[in-house]
Amino acid sequence: MSIETLIDNVIGREGGYSNHPSDRGGATMWGITERVARKHGYKGDMRALPRATAVAIYRQEFAIDTGFAAVAQINEAVGEELFDTGVNMGPAVPALWFQESLNAFNQQGKLYPDIKEDGDIGPKTLATFRTYLKVRGADAERVLLRALNCSQGERYKMLARSRSANEDFVFGWFRNRVA
């Protein structure tokens, strides 16, 4: 799956302009928050954020810089899951879950060594992912996706419990984000 396809899928889920009073992210367009747009040099009204600007931000900040595009080159489904979750809750969160899961599934280091759980998807994490897929076989993708979705669902519940305004979003997060 190409980066462009990942981005198109996310933009399709995120939709157009939003400025929900319960959303701490404030004004967003195409799923890009005003803070992120400003960080990338956009100075205009968020309602007018060009789709091409959003695509460029997604490509660099949420696909390439995070390592999620590299994961997608190895396994499309896992790369897409990390990318989508990273857009929704920040890329560091699913990157860390990815590393934690790889370590949890290595049978105490018997299948492959533990990697550093730092949220940085670099060459060691990618090599470990390739090894994980090889040694765990046909169920590897499905089990890893379940682990990532379990972590994601738990985080959504925690967000709703810690801030009641998040209850405005939690049902939709589960419906649209947790597969």
Q: Tell me the residue range of the domain where 129 lies.
A: 74-178
Query: CATH number, domain at 1?
Result: 1.20.141.10
Question: pTM value?
Answer: 0.91
The predicted-structure confidence for 12-63, as pLDDT tens digits, reads as follows 888 899 998 888 889 999 999 999 999 999 999 999 999 999 999 999 999 9
Q: Identify whether residues 60 and 102 lie together within a single domain.
A: no
34 and 89 both lie in a single domain: no
- On whether both 57 and 100 belong to a single domain, the answer is no
Quote the pLDDT of residue 82: 97
Do residues 93 and 171 share a domain?
Answer: yes
pLDDT tens sequence across 120-167: 999 999 999 999 999 999 999 999 999 999 999 999 999 999 989 889
Same domain membership, residue 118 and residue 89: yes
User: Same domain for 87 and 174?
Assistant: yes
| Chain-centroid distance, C-alpha 155 | 13
Same structural domain, 87 and 172? yes
95 shares a domain with 170 = yes
Domain count, the chain: 2
Q: Are 120 and 40 within one domain?
A: no
Helix (H) or strand (E) holding 174: helix 167-177
Q: Within this chain, do residues 60 and 106 fall inside the same structural domain, yes or no?
A: no
133-171 in b/e form (b: 16+ CB < 10 A) is beebeeebbeebbebbbebbeebbeebbeeeeebeebee
pLDDT over threshold 80, residue 6: yes
Q: Name the domain boundary from 15, 38, 65.
A: 65
Same domain, 41 and 2: yes
